[in-house]
Amino acid sequence: MMGYLLLIAGIALFIAAHWFKRLMPDRRAAMGEAGKGPVALAILAGIVLMVIGYRSAAYVNIWFPPDFLTHINNLLMLLAFWFFALSALPGTISARVRHKQLTAAKLWAVAHLLVNGDLASIILFASMLGWAVGTVILINRAEPTWDRPGQPTLAADGKALVIGGVVMVGVAMIHAWLGYYPFQS
For the chain, the domains span: 1-58, 61-185
Q: Mark 30-52 as b/e (b = at least 16 C-beta within 10 Å).
A: eeeeeeeeebeebbeebeebbeb
* 115-172: pLDDT as tens digits: 999 999 999 999 999 999 999 999 999 999 998 888 888 999 999 999 999 999 999 9
Task: Provide the whole-model pTM.
Answer: 0.92
* 115-127: pLDDT as tens digits: 999 999 999 999 9
Distance of CA 185 to the CA centre of its chain: 23
Backbone phi and psi for residue 38, each to the nearest 5 degrees, phi listed first? -60, -35
